[in-house]
Structure formats: C-alpha cells, structure tokens
Structure 1
C-alpha cells in the first residue's frame, strides 16, 4: 500500500494512519467497495501495534469512510465516491457568495483605530490607562463571584443578572437621576451591542435613520450594514441642529450623544432637547441616547440625560468602558417597558447572555460603593490630565488652534487654523515618525469636505507628566 504520511502527522501514530488511509480513499487508491488491509497485516507492515491501527480504523468507521462486517476485512463505503473530506482540492467553478449584510460590511471603510504599541505619546481616544483600572478591587469582587456557591453553572437571564440590574437601577438614580424599574434594564456586551440590538429590533432594510454629523462611526456603520439609510444632521456647539431634522414620520430612529456630542463635545440645549423629543413623538420614532462618558463633567454637575424628558421615546445606553475598561465589554440599556421583551429575545439569539462572573463582580463593586469611589477618583485624575493638556496646548500653539469640547469627557477636538482637511494625513504621518499618535477628525464625517484640519485628542491613557512633553514635540513637528 501507499505511504501513510499526511502533513506533519507521522505514520506511526493512529492519527497519521487515519489521515493516510483517508487520503488514499479520497484519491481513489481504494475505490468504493474495495477491501482495506486487515488491522493485523497493516500493523505488521508499518511496525506499529495492532491497537494503533484499530484506533485509526475506528475513526474511519465513525466518520462513515469504512464499513466492517463480522469475519471480513473492512471495505470502503460506497457513498464515499468523490468525497475528499479535508483533503485539499481545487476550488469549485462557482462558490457561494456573501450575504447582502456581509457585502455592505465589507464595503465600509475601516473604522477601528489600529493599536500602535510602543508610542510614548499616544493621544488615541476611546482608551483608558491600564494604571487606572482598580485591579485589587476588581480581583476581590471577581474572586468572590467565582467562589460563591451556586446550585449549577448554567445559562442565565439574557437580559442580565438580577443582582446587576438592581445595582444599576440604584446607581443610575444616584448618578444620573434616572428612575426606572430594574426590569427595564438590559445588560449588553458594551454599547456597540446595544446599537446592534436597536438596529435589529427597530429598523428594516430601506428605513431611514438620523445620525449626528460628525458622529461615532461605528454607530453609523451599524445602520448602514442592515440596509438602512443614515441621514447626517449637522452638529454645532449646542449639539444636533434640530432645525435640520427631516419631516416627522420619515425616519425610524435618531442616534444622538446629547450630554457630550461625539466628537465635538457640545451639550444639547434645552430647547433642542424639547424639539427632538417632539419630532420623535409626532413621527412615532425612537431616540437612541448614547451616554458614553456622562460621568466625566468638570465644570458643573453631569448633564441630565435626555431620557428624563423623553416621554417614553428615548432608549438610554450606558457603559463602563470609560470608567473601568473597554476590555470588560459591559454596558446596559434602559428601555421603554414595551421594548424589554423583544430586545431580550433578540439578545438571546445574538449571544445568549453577558458573562455571569463579570456581571456579579460589577454588581458587587456598585453595591459596596467601590465603583462610585473609583469614578470620583477617575474624574479627578482625568481632570488633571485635561488641564495639563489644555495648558500646554495654549502655551505651544496659542491662537493657531481652536479647542472644542473641553468641559467634559476624555477627549477634545483641536482645529488647526491655517491647515486644511487635506493636510491631516500628512501631519499625522509626520507625528507618527516622531513617536506621537494623533487622529484626524475627518474620518468621523460621513462625507469628505474641505474644512480646517482637525484632530481628536484623547488624554486618558497617558501619565500627566507625559502630556506636556508630547504636545511640545508635536509643536516642533508642525513647525518643521
């Protein structure tokens, strides 16, 4: 018989014999109905134990390649004609195509900011410093969750653990003034899954969705990939411009960041809040409120959520990505009561549930008060980073820049007077060669247009003492 070797699998192993025989069956060395060598004969030929050969035969039999009858040698199954299993073969002349959803996804520009390890001065936004994570408190809470005696280890409620939902109910009342039943809260794997659930539950292909301009690109992409048509509405210092909203009834949703518009930092004014809710109510639409960094307000108390004046039209989305870490993938939604059941059923189909131990650990942190103590500490520390950044930017660049969105959050947008959008890539590349990460704002706009060059600067990842050094070096890069 032929050489029984397959890739790196040696002939002397049961798997090597199994793969070799399977390849010979697929290539026609042993045709359908042909007899294979007996286990005794094959063992003698290969110099291995009969048990090894028997194990290989048993695998072939279990997969249907080989049939055995009492007192007879094994034979190749007649149904194996033309079946080569995992053996390499030529591609079919016609291959299945991607779904329309996948095609739309592949057509989108890359919206993920690539990690750049080794950069000393990285003003990447959306990340937090690993040094800020409450390692000891989290380890204690997670260990306790793992060691807690349970009747069984099984699937939990797709909407989230009752303990975490009740803890979040109390936290949202204390921190954001939201008074809701804990059963209105659905725990999700980060705010991105919340957006995906909203798109699946409330939007059909061909529907129209209002989004901010500029906006969080991953939100716009979620609606695009399901076949909806996002309508960008311009934002200014007071948030989304409600005078530019389309006629009510033509759009299913509006996605907004009213407490700290991403990325420009404006706060949606009281008048515009009322107009936006009126628009949703008269058009039978919902508003998605992404409160991605509502805990970080440096000049006054945190801005009240739009949910409070939403008249049942607002879906509130929160996350611990900016307070603890985006690696935890824990977020939550506060839903109008009528949406809880459909959202929960859809989530069960998407991923079954959020991780149980992490949910219990977060619930323990909130209930003990450790989470809110951590938030206060992070607000103070990031306030220091923010002030250090603003001071050195004014020192180095002066009137050559305009900085917006400074009163809240973990990032600002810096507009460079005298530079255009077309200069952004060139400046970012020059900065990168000097060891500085800066990120153009133009990627957050739906359409390219000529404006001042702008960059989104995050300051939450660096030690305070590194921020002035990085900005001064950037000043030298720009001068060159």
Structure 2
C-alpha cells in the first residue's frame, strides 16, 4: 500500500497507517480511552503484514498518542486532545508574533538575492569571476585539511583555528602592517558576521551609532535590526566628513570603510583619521574598520589601516570574500585586548565556531605562500579589467558621466549627468531587460536627496573580452533612454 502526502510525495505503508490513525485520533474519531483495532485485525483488513501495522503502532506509542499493554489492544492516551493536530490549521499572518528584532528586520528592504534570470553582462558589485578562484590549490589545501589525522572530531575554539589565527598574524603584518597576537584574531563567517558580532557585543537597543552616508546597506541593517539609532555622516573624496561629527556622548560605535569608502571610493585622510579616533576616545566608543577590499590598490601601496593609529579603540575587519570567494564565508576580526573575551563568548553562542576544515585549508594556503601569490595575481587581473572598463566607459559616454573611486577596490561609482536619481530604478530595470546588471547607488543612502543618477559598477566578475561589448550595449540603452521614456531592447 502506497499513499501520497500533501505535496504528492510517496509515503511508505507503515507510515501511511501511522498517519491515518494519528489523524483519526486528532480529529476525534477515536476519543480518549477508546480502543484501537488490534494489529492482527488491522493487518487482515488492509492486506499487509502484521509487522507493518505493529511498526505504525510503535510510532504512535513513542509519540504519546496511544498506550499499549501486553496482550491488550492499544487505547488512545489521556493527554491527547481532539484538536491537537495543528498541521492543517491555517493561521493568518497577522497572528504571528515576531520578536522586536524580527519585526525591525521585516521592515527593512530585502537584500536576499532572488532569481534574476540570465544576464549577458553583470556589472553589479560584490561577485568575483569563477575562473579566478584557485580551484586546484584550494582543493589540495582542503583535501589536506580533511585528511589530516585527528584523535577525534570535536567542536573547536569559537575564536577560530589556532593554525589560521597564527597564519593570519603573519599575513596581516606583511600585507597590512598590523602587529597583533593570534589571540587578538577571531575567525568569523565573513565580514557580515563580524559586523553583527560587533553590534551584539557593543550596542544596546536605543544606543546611538555612527555610519557613513552612503554606506554598505547590510552594515546599516545590522544596526537598525538590533534597535540602534544610526546617525549618517556624509562622505566625500576624503571619506567620512569628520567636521560633521556629533558630540560623542552616548555613541557606542562607528562603522567606517576608511581605506576605500563604500561605495564612493574616498580614502580617509590622515587628519580625519586622527579626528575620528579622538572622537571615539572622548566618547568611550569603538570604531569598526571594515577593510573589505584592502588588498586591491592600483596607483600606490595599500593605505595603512586605521587600526594602526586607533589607540585601542579600533576593531579591524578583514575578509577572504574579495580575494578568494564570497561563497567561502571566511572573515576575521582583530580586536583590542579588552574585547577578546566578550567577543569569543558571544561568537560561541552564535554558532560555536566557523567551519574548521575551511579554516585549516586557508591556513595551509597562507603558510605555503599560495595565498599571497594568488592575491598578487588577482590584483594584476583586476587592474586589467579596471583599465579596460574605464577606457570603454569614457569612449562610450565621454563628458556625459563622472567616474569616482577608481584608484582601489573592485568597483567604481558612475554618475550620469543626463539623468536624476529618481530615474535610477527604471534605468536599472531597463538595463536588466537588455541583459545588463547595474546597481543604483541611491539604495545606499539613508537620506533621500536630489542628485544625479548614479550606479555602482563592479568589474571583478566580468571576463575581459566581455567588458567592451557590455559597455556598448549599455550605451545603446542609455542613449535610447535619453531620447525616449519607452523601454528599449538593444538586443532586438
């Protein structure tokens, strides 16, 4: 006997009997104290083996629906209420009670990637090219990590693999000039968890926090969802405008991207760095330095981290998402010593620890020198992509655009002089209709204002040969948009 479930899946014979009896008990066909048919009688009636029926009764007994005594028929248990089956009860959404945290999250614009369909040219920021991932080297490192002898498979230190923390200590000194102990490094599931952990450890609901304007939307979302009160400070070509800093009293945290302001690309100047640190010290606040793409600097050497001049008030956040892949979810924090214990304890509560196999693989990759060779290779590859993209954009649009944030990172912001900010979403939709992915910059501003239409263009995920043709198709779309408000299909 085979029965289909509600979703059309096949249900085994014993389970079908169990479900049938359970539903009859739940809906009152069999009341409390009633005897069920004997296993022998039910087996004969259904034409199945007695063993099959007995297995169904054993499941009902284990879940507390029936009592069974040796030599007697099963009876419905006394603690079963006729209305206990809630699987078929449909409750209106409005009756679902959410926590304040979840309610605030639901009020935010969704950033969950959805099914967007095929794009011929994807200039959206954040992704890296699949061909850039060092598949063979990573497979070797991961295989070595998995095959390494272990006395037991157990939970690890929530702060991270000792091997990776040791490897990162050396890497951070060589690549970013950061001197720290391995104990100051905490491994996390990407920079997003790093930001969330900072907020959970240091921010209470109602606390004031300082953010950049515009800023990384998911950083602002972390703070808003936890009930913090963000103050957005405008940014320019020198990064955060520290002349607009508020009185530090009552501020718990500031989240900044000083080496390459996201998304505008400004670098926080030396004077402003000093002012920001003084502000944090005066208010007993901490500064979270999100160094999300610090390895990618094309014109000069990488900008020194704010952490170096932070006077113990700066938390450094790094990630492998832009150097290896965002799919790995490997990031890290460098903490002032006083924060180590609370961060480690809260990390343990969140998820025990980040995946150990991947941590140990990255440690091996760093220690072998392969990681830094890969970073240098990616810096050259993305410098080439950047140059081709900028040349193609200037050739296609000339003085109709302004490009900013070109000296570092894996994205730029392009302002289109012919259009206003209100046109951004419809332009992005039109571009998508033509197989082009672009991201409106206005989504990253907390405060609406009249400005030119701007878009964040990422180039790290694009094959070099596709970039000029992608820009040319965008030129056609934008030209038609300037001439008419109708939807234009450049592929026709």
- Which bracket does the TM-score occupy, shorter chain normalised? over 0.9
Residues 354, 34 of structure 1: CA spacing in aligned structure 2 closer, same or farther, 3 A cutoff? same
Answer yes or no: is the 8 Å Cα contact 1:12–1:46 preserved in 2.
no
Equivalence for 2:310: 310
Shift, 1:53, TM fit: 0.5
Q: Distance in 1 between matches of 2:177 and 2:468?
A: 37
- CA deviation map 1:31-58 (0-9, x unaligned): 1000111111111111110000100000
Is 1:48 aligned to residue 48 of structure 2? yes
- CA deviation map 1:95-150 (0-9, x unaligned): 45111111100001123454635211110101100110000000000011111110
Equivalence for 1:335: 335
Answer yes or no: is the 8 Å Cα contact 1:315–1:336 preserved in 2.
yes
Give secondary structure in 2 for the equivalent of 1:78.
coil
- CA deviation map 1:217-267 (0-9, x unaligned): 000010001110010000000000000000122311111000000000000
Shift, 1:73, TM fit: 1.0
Equivalence for 2:397: 397
Is 1:246 aligned to residue 246 of structure 2? yes
Is 1:325 aligned to residue 325 of structure 2? yes
Paired residue total: 478
Shift, 1:434, TM fit: 1.6
Shift, 1:478, TM fit: 1.1
Could you tell which deviates more after superposition, 102-111 or 129-138? 102-111
Shift, 1:184, TM fit: 0.2
Q: Distance in 2 between matches of 1:142 and 1:169?
A: 21
Equivalence for 1:75: 75
Q: Distance in 1 between matches of 2:111 and 2:419?
A: 24
- CA deviation map 1:253-296 (0-9, x unaligned): 11100000000000000000000001101111100000000000
After TM superposition, list the pairs within 5 Å mapping 1:194-343 onto structure 2: 194-343=194-343
Is 1:163 aligned to residue 163 of structure 2? yes
Equivalence for 1:383: 383
Shift, 1:82, TM fit: 2.4
Answer yes or no: is the 8 Å Cα contact 1:242–1:276 preserved in 2.
yes
Answer yes or no: is the 8 Å Cα contact 1:439–1:456 preserved in 2.
yes
Shift, 1:12, TM fit: 7.2
Q: Distance in 1 between matches of 2:12 and 2:325?
A: 50
RMSD (Å) for aligned C-alpha atoms: 1.7
Shift, 1:426, TM fit: 2.1
Equivalence for 2:488: none
Give secondary structure in 1 for the equivalent of 2:464.
coil
Equivalence for 2:32: 32
Q: Distance in 2 between matches of 1:329 and 1:249?
A: 35
Is 1:370 aligned to residue 370 of structure 2? yes
Give secondary structure in 2 for the equivalent of 1:415.
strand
Answer yes or no: is the 8 Å Cα contact 1:208–1:230 preserved in 2.
yes
Shift, 1:391, TM fit: 0.6
Equivalence for 1:454: 454
Give secondary structure in 2 for the equivalent of 1:258.
coil
Shift, 1:72, TM fit: 1.4
- CA deviation map 1:206-226 (0-9, x unaligned): 000000000000000100011
Could you tell which deviates more after superposition, 69-78 or 219-228? 69-78
After TM superposition, list the pairs within 5 Å mapping 1:108-187 onto structure 2: 108-112=108-112, 114=114, 116-187=116-187
Residues 114, 264 of structure 1: CA spacing in aligned structure 2 closer, same or farther, 3 A cutoff? farther
Residues 261, 6 of structure 1: CA spacing in aligned structure 2 closer, same or farther, 3 A cutoff? closer
Answer yes or no: is the 8 Å Cα contact 1:11–1:17 preserved in 2.
no
Shift, 1:89, TM fit: 2.8
Give secondary structure in 2 for the equivalent of 1:37.
coil
- CA deviation map 1:322-347 (0-9, x unaligned): 00000000000000011111011101
Equivalence for 2:354: 354
Q: Distance in 2 between matches of 1:456 and 1:322?
A: 16
Q: Distance in 1 between matches of 2:408 and 2:174?
A: 19
Q: Distance in 2 between matches of 1:300 and 1:469?
A: 30
Shift, 1:473, TM fit: 1.3
Equivalence for 1:62: 62
What TM-score does the superposition give when structure 1 sets the normalisation length?
0.97
Residues 109, 92 of structure 1: CA spacing in aligned structure 2 closer, same or farther, 3 A cutoff? closer
- CA deviation map 1:292-311 (0-9, x unaligned): 00000000000000000000
Q: Distance in 1 between matches of 2:173 and 2:253?
A: 26
Shift, 1:423, TM fit: 1.4
- CA deviation map 1:330-374 (0-9, x unaligned): 000000011111011101111110001000000000000000000
Is 1:99 aligned to residue 107 of structure 2? no
Answer yes or no: is the 8 Å Cα contact 1:412–1:457 preserved in 2.
yes
Structure 1: which 5+ runs fail to align? Answer: none
Shift, 1:447, TM fit: 1.8
Q: Distance in 2 between matches of 1:78 and 1:94?
A: 33
- CA deviation map 1:406-443 (0-9, x unaligned): 00000000011121101112221221222111111000
Structure 2: which 5+ runs fail to align? Answer: 481-492
Give secondary structure in 1 for the equivalent of 2:79.
helix
Q: Distance in 2 between matches of 1:4 and 1:24?
A: 16
Equivalence for 2:487: none
